[in-house]
Amino acid sequence: MRAEDLRGIPLFDGVTDGQLAELAAVGEEVPVERGVDLFHQGDPAEHWWVLLEGEVELLRRVGPEDVVVARLDQPGRWVGGFRGWDENAVYLPSARGVTPGRVLRVPSADLRRLSDSWSPLSGHIVAGVFNTARNAEATARQRESLVALGTLAAGLAHELNNPAAAATRAVDSLAATAGELLDALRDLARAGIAADQFTGLDALRSSLAPPAGPVDPLELADQEEELGSWLESHDVELAWDLAPALAAAGADVGWCERAEEAVGSAALEPALRWVASTVTTAALLRSTKESTRRVSELVDAVRSYSQMDRGSVQLIDVTEGLESTLVMLGHKLRGVDVVRDFDAGVPKIEAYAGELNQVWTNLIDNAVDAMDGAGTLRLRTRPDGEGVVVEVGDSGAGMPPEVAARAFEAFYTTKPVGRGTGLGLDIARRIVQDRHGGTVTITSRPGDTVLSVHLPRRIGPPR
């Protein structure tokens, strides 16, 4: 490696020719080849790597896949070297060549020695900044991740609790209703009704048809009152207990009169108790089925959201990801009117589905926060040439120009500590841009803020 090869790189502006010569003497040029790793995550960070030419991507292992976290795409960008200041330092990402080129590789120990000899104070500052920043960042990221995970878990637990509790209540009621049904059958047998009488009663039961749509509470109350009075006038002791179940099943006074004709006055009460128990049992079974279906849907949504047991890159329907994200954030949408405008002609796209779901989570969470939990959330998808556009809009106060201008800056946020998902717009943009070759744009005015995500049909190079 020659000092002249380093002179035009902005990183070394202000470095003397003698210092460059010292650096070149301890460094060596390493070729960059497409798809070939320079170093691996977790290995001792024994070298400082400076890009001279070409492009290198930095990858972190997250679960079963490698995630691109940064790119060295301009001469002078660097990585590693901190083992000179921390004997336990390791490479946080792996480095892999994207395009042919070359890098300068300097042993970390030599980097530290040269730094101390050129500017001893700078060496101490670097060591202090490195250790302080590493500890603070690790603690902060761990805390933010735990808060975000706890928020999502609490919301999901709330969503699961409602149908699970409903199913539990229905099962408890079923036990009591089954006992009442058996008691009614026993009393019918004691009343000595004939087989044809029971068959006629069962036919009447089958003819009951609960209202298909919403029921007016006042009308239902009037019907219960009418049935209760009729039953009481016919010496039915449990008149006011039976009336609500019979009314809910669609029975009226005329139906009760036909039931009396079918079984006789002596067997009327056990007959009505049996009918009321059967229709109540059917209603409880429907409630249990609906509750368990809802639990199953939530589990499916979690599986879709987390992309469990699925490949890293796959053909996806962006609508499915948006819907599963809405389920995960359901606890935050109680006072929000969600308006869906999903174009049926949107094609499936090639994507890292789990990462896109994190983007949708961030955008929707930001939109809800912008509305203080009450307003209109608009989700729209549409084809766009060879790709798709996903728009997330809200009716909040809007972003001031100075906020919109900095929205995609790393570490920039307008949220207080503990709020949000821990995934800033900068990272969302990186997922869309660097991982998928798409773009994210913002348009904002009071009452109408829209973040538009443009995604190609096939994963393309970063824009």
Check whether residue 96 and residue 17 sit in a common domain: yes
pTM value is: 0.48
- Asked if the structure places residue 15 within a domain, the reply is yes
Check whether residue 260 and residue 234 sit in a common domain: yes
- Asked if the structure places residue 63 within a domain, the reply is yes
pLDDT score for 459: 82
- Which tokens is 57 given? 């991507």
CB distance 33 to 79 below 8 Å: no
pLDDT score for 171: 86
Tell me how far CA of residue 209 lies from CA of 142, 213, 252, 461, in angstroms.
57, 12, 11, 61
Check whether residue 67 and residue 184 sit in a common domain: no
pLDDT score for 420: 44
3-state secondary structure of 16: coil
| Distance, CA of 380 to CA of 339 (rounded, Å) | 8
CATH code of the domain covering residue 381 = 3.30.565.10
pLDDT score for 391: 96
Tell me the residue range of the domain where 363 lies: 314-456
Strands (E), 28-107: 28-32, 37-39, 47-62, 65-72, 78-80, 94-107
| Distance, CA of 285 to CA of 181 (rounded, Å) | 15
Strands 313-316 and 349-352: antiparallel
pLDDT score for 63: 58
- Which tokens is 461 given? 């190079």
| Nearest Cα to Cα of residue 354 among 392, 303, 388 | 303
- Asked if the structure places residue 247 within a domain, the reply is yes
**Given the structure tokens 């393309």, which residue do they identify?**
460
- Asked if the structure places residue 151 within a domain, the reply is no
pLDDT (tens, 9 = 90+) of the chain, 463 residues, equals 788 888 888 888 888 889 889 999 999 999 999 999 999 988 898 999 999 999 999 888 765 567 787 889 899 999 888 788 777 788 888 999 999 999 999 999 998 888 888 876 655 555 555 555 455 445 545 555 555 555 566 666 767 777 888 888 888 888 888 888 999 999 999 988 899 999 999 999 999 887 766 778 888 898 889 999 999 998 888 888 889 888 888 888 999 999 999 999 889 999 999 999 998 888 888 888 888 887 777 777 666 565 544 556 788 899 988 988 888 788 788 889 999 999 999 999 998 887 888 889 889 988 998 898 889 999 999 998 889 999 999 999 888 888 887 787 655 565 554 444 434 687 788 888 888 889 999 999 999 999 999 999 988 665 5
Check whether residue 275 and residue 329 sit in a common domain: no
- Asked if the structure places residue 152 within a domain, the reply is no
| Distance, CA of 251 to CA of 293 (rounded, Å) | 29
The amino acid at 396 = G
In DSSP terms, which residues pair with 440 in a beta bridge?
453
| Domain-ending residue, one of 91, 118, 145 | 118
Under DSSP, the state recorded for 422 is S
- Asked if the structure places residue 325 within a domain, the reply is yes
Contacting residues for 132 by C-beta, under 8 A, at least 6 apart: none
Check whether residue 353 and residue 383 sit in a common domain: yes
| Sheet with 439-445: strands ordered across | 336-342, 375-384, 387-394, 448-456, 439-445
| Domain-ending residue, one of 297, 330, 349 | 297
- Which tokens is 317 given? 């329907």
pLDDT score for 140: 46
Q: What is the CA radius of gyration of the chain?
A: 34
Check whether residue 284 and residue 416 sit in a common domain: no
- Asked if the structure places residue 91 within a domain, the reply is yes
| Distance, CA of 284 to CA of 293 (rounded, Å) | 14
Counting the structural domains of the chain, the total is 3
Backbone angles phi, psi at 2, to 5 degrees: -105, 150
| Domain-ending residue, one of 237, 263, 297 | 297
